[in-house]
Amino acid sequence: MVSTSSVPRWRWQTLDGADRLDPVPPTVDEARAQDACNFVVWRPTRLPAGCDTSAATLRREAPPGRVEVRGRTPWSDANPACCRTEISGGARRLRLKQFLYDWAFPAADHPCLWGSDTRPFPIGEDGVVWLGTDYLGHRAASARMARTTVELSVLQGEFTDEEIVGLFAALRPAVPTAPPRVLATPFSELSYWARYPAGPVAVPTGVFAFQRRGREHEGDWIPSDEVAGFLTGTGVPVTAGAFRAESAATFGDGVAVRELDVVYTSPTGGELRLTAQRTGGGRLAFPPARDKHPATGEVRDLDGRPVHLGYVSAEFGACDAWWQHPDGYDLRLLGSAGPHLGREPFLRLLAELDRGLRLARSAEVLG
């Protein structure tokens, strides 16, 4: 385990205006793309049988602004960075899309497969790739690797489970020195939506229904070097197991609706997202209602209080839990997926956070 305190934070190249965006994303080597991306760029080192072509293109980051360029997102004025790699050969073709999913928590940790039956496969010691069907009806897969969302979509022909899992297992950092620096950089400094006046996007976030929407640039982010002191002062735990809080934000109008979000990360890129809210004051409706993704739901006991828990896989997560503090506010904890964040490890982390939170009064947390 490498301490991130001595690792320099990641810095990348951005454009100074949306009008500077390339009309057509240029073809680049993944290693060259890394300097323009706020996430770890991965490159394939082993192609499926019969595939002999791998070409990557880069969509650069620019401030918000709607312009007519190929490849930009159609649902927002935002212009975040993205790297796309197309692999083809033998009348088969697929694409990999890489980016930092940062406008909401990635729903079930594989948002492009939302609503479809998904199956997890371990990749390496810490990773998991999910296979399912994407929103276009294509056979697809998704994984978060060092916090980068890597999505695969089959565009032509057929690929077996073994080929898709093998492709993900053989992905390697395009620039080996980049992952430690990206992981050492707080989410709030990487996130496009935390850095620009881009409004929250109403998308699913987990097994239970919750969508964050509101005024433009609704989240107020705490400066990175003040997060630990801010949380300590409000009675919110700074650590939980191997996870440490590195970003925090408040959402809402400050009166009727106020939510505190805390981002906890592990040295390998795992993520927990804690949301705390005055009971009945906003978007955490307790008890929660299930959203539309296939998952298992159950109610667990936490010192006499119910915890509503949902997860896609008991072994790998991704987990979504809602419960209430004895002092009268609602809590939600989301977790990324992985061999070390299945149902029982996740519940142990939840119990540790809850013990820390019970040492603080609700007024201190949300006042």
Boundaries of domain holding 54: 18-183
Could you tell me if 177 and 216 lie in one domain?
Answer: no
Q: How many folded domains does the chain comprise?
A: 2
How confident is the model at residue 327, as a pLDDT? 86
Could you tell me if 233 and 150 lie in one domain?
Answer: no
- Contact between residue 356 and residue 236 where contact means Cβ atoms under 8 Å apart: yes
Could you tell me if 53 and 156 lie in one domain?
Answer: yes
Could you tell me if 89 and 139 lie in one domain?
Answer: yes
Neighbours of 329 (CB within 10 A): 23
Could you tell me if 235 and 90 lie in one domain?
Answer: no
List of the chain residues with pLDDT < 70: 1-5, 71-75, 199-200, 213-217, 253-257, 280-281, 361-367
Domain assignment of residue 1, yes or no: no
Could you tell me if 222 and 129 lie in one domain?
Answer: no
The 3-state DSSP class for residue 235 equals: coil
Query: Does the global pTM surpass 0.75?
Result: yes
Q: Where are the beta strands (DSSP E) in the chain?
A: 27-28, 42-44, 53-59, 82-89, 92-99, 119-123, 127-133, 139-145, 148-156, 171-173, 220-221, 239-240, 243-252, 258-265, 271-278, 296-302, 305-313, 317-325, 329-335
How confident is the model at residue 165, as a pLDDT? 98
In angstroms, the Cα distances linking 16 to 49, 69, 70, 193 are 42, 16, 19, 16
Domain assignment of residue 257, yes or no: yes
How confident is the model at residue 126, as a pLDDT? 86
Domain assignment of residue 127, yes or no: yes
Domain assignment of residue 188, yes or no: no
How confident is the model at residue 113, as a pLDDT? 97
Could you tell me if 354 and 214 lie in one domain?
Answer: yes
Q: What is the pLDDT of residues 277-327, one digit of tens each?
A: 877 667 788 899 999 999 999 999 999 999 999 999 999 999 999 999 998
Q: Kindly report the length of the chain.
A: 367
Cα dihedral sign, 191-344-180-247: positive
How confident is the model at residue 48, as a pLDDT? 94
Domain assignment of residue 118, yes or no: yes
Could you tell me if 163 and 231 lie in one domain?
Answer: no
Domain assignment of residue 97, yes or no: yes
